[in-house]
Amino acid sequence: MNSRDSEALAGLLRDKGFILTDSPDSADVILFNTCSVRQHAEDKVWSEIGRIAKLSPLDFAYKTRKIKAGGTPRPTKKIVGLVGCMAQNYKDEIFKRCPNVDLVVGPNDLISIPLLIEAILRERSQVIAVGTMEREQDFYISNFRREKDHAYVVISEGCSNFCSYCVVPFVRGRLHSRPHQEILKEIKSTVNSGIKDITLLGQNVNAYLDTDHLPDKPSNYVNFIELIKKIDEVEGLKSFDFVTSHPKDTSQELFLAMRDCKKLKKQLHLPVQSGSDRILKLMNRGYTAKQYSELVKEYRKITNGRITTDIIVGFPTEAQGDFNQTLNLMKEIEFNSAYIFKYSPRPHTEAENLKDDVALKEKELRHKILLDLQKEISQNKKCTSIL
């Protein structure tokens, strides 16, 4: 999601006359589009901003548009922006922690960045824009794409699930589905530009529901299954897939639609997070390990597709018995691949109030055990498919 936001932001700035560069040394404006999902990602941003501060000390002047004839150009201060989820999370605290930062902009305000840069140059002061709960659709208008043969298309933003460990609903707001006409328009224009393979993006794609245009007729609302059927009919599109799904919003009806949509890849990323019902309940995930496992059986029976997952180890109170249940579930399901994370408490979340009581050493050990198991499973699956 963040990569697509960065891409759309780059397109927006390019359309406003900015020139993109990969080199921080030559840039006048440096923007960090940030993620708050894990502590580790935030730590990297703080340290990178510290590094950039050395490139552009505070006593440098902001770049002025015109340097008077004959005048000596003063060294210029780079405009440094911390944008995205960390901006929403820490707001003006960022200016205190990093005085070198000029711009703090939340994920739903990214569209204002070109104007805010102008304001910084005009006013010579720091600027903050956070708190807008819904993104303007024009944010996606530029068709700037980094890849030549694949594109991401956002179908919904935010999430209303409030899993107890997750900061997303607090930094990106509640679920908001883009109008399906806008999505189809973006896909058609992407296909016309030569890109025929698309990934639909959302924090919980299965909860997609476009109610914007037909508020009086719920029977005409477009849900996720109807959306993928419409996308399957887009002329010129060769293939598409979607991330991320939530088990509690995933159903047999979806699997049947996946089977029937000819262009839809038969692959599903379905985070399980834990194999212990007690931990799943503490995580507020809304399903049991057995329900999850039944869902996977149904999915495989109907689509014969690939399945991948996310797992968190070391959630507060996770005992050896809970961990063993996760291990057993992984052995039973044999995912095609799995992303395994060590738990870290996130601000605002319900789980932040629980004691982070699994020692780091133990988290690392559990992380390694699951990684090794998945490596073995993936290897066996590869050998079986070759045979």
Nearer to ligand SF4, 86 or 103 (CB): 86
246 binds ligand SF4 (CB under 6 A): yes
- Applying CB under 6 A, among 56, 161, 250, 326 the residue interacting with ligand SF4 is 161
**Longest CA pairwise span in the chain (Å):** 76
Is the CB of residue 108 less than 8 Å from the CB of residue 172? yes
SS3 230: helix
Q: What beta strand segments (E) does the chain contain?
A: 29-34, 61-62, 76-77, 79-84, 103-105, 127-129, 151-154, 156-157, 176-177, 197-201, 209-210, 222-223, 239-243, 267-269, 306-313, 337-342
In the complex, what is the shortest distance from the CB of residue 352 to ligand SF4, in angstroms, rounded to a whole number? 14
- What are 306's strand-pairing partners? 267
Nearer to ligand SF4, 78 or 246 (CB): 246
190 binds ligand SF4 (CB under 6 A): no
174 binds ligand SF4 (CB under 6 A): no
245 binds ligand SF4 (CB under 6 A): no
In the complex, what is the shortest distance from the CB of residue 274 to ligand SF4, in angstroms, rounded to a whole number? 12
Nearer to ligand SF4, 11 or 275 (CB): 275
162 binds ligand SF4 (CB under 6 A): yes
In the complex, what is the shortest distance from the CB of residue 301 to ligand SF4, in angstroms, rounded to a whole number? 25
In the complex, what is the shortest distance from the CB of residue 291 to ligand SF4, in angstroms, rounded to a whole number? 16
Q: How far apart are CA 146 and CA 169, in angstroms?
A: 28
Nearer to ligand SF4, 11 or 169 (CB): 169
CA angle 263, 265, 271 (to 5 degrees): 145
User: Which residues have a Cβ under 8 Å from the Cβ of 39 and sit 6 or more positions away?
Assistant: 344, 345, 346
In the complex, what is the shortest distance from the CB of residue 285 to ligand SF4, in angstroms, rounded to a whole number? 7
User: How are beta strands 197-201 and 151-154 bridged, if at all?
Assistant: parallel
Per CB under 6 A, the segment of 100-108, 157-165, 190-198, 208-216 that binds ligand SF4 is 157-165
User: Between the CA of residue 125 and those of 58, 96, 117, 361, 386, what are the distances in Å?
Assistant: 12, 14, 10, 45, 61
Total number of residues that touch ligand SF4 (CB under 6 A): 10
SS3 143: coil
89 binds ligand SF4 (CB under 6 A): no
Nearer to ligand SF4, 334 or 352 (CB): 352
169 binds ligand SF4 (CB under 6 A): yes
163 binds ligand SF4 (CB under 6 A): yes
- Applying CB under 6 A, among 203, 250, 303, 344 the residue interacting with ligand SF4 is 203
- What are 140's strand-pairing partners? none
Q: How far apart are CA 263 and CA 241, in angstroms?
A: 9
Q: How far apart are CA 94 and CA 135, in angstroms?
A: 22
- Applying CB under 6 A, among 166, 198, 261, 373 the residue interacting with ligand SF4 is 166
Q: How far apart are CA 44 and CA 192, in angstroms?
A: 38
Per CB under 6 A, the segment of 3-11, 127-135, 162-170, 183-191 that binds ligand SF4 is 162-170
In the complex, what is the shortest distance from the CB of residue 162 to ligand SF4, in angstroms, rounded to a whole number? 6
Can you give the binding site for ligand SF4, defined by CB under 6 A? 159, 161-163, 166, 168-169, 203-204, 246
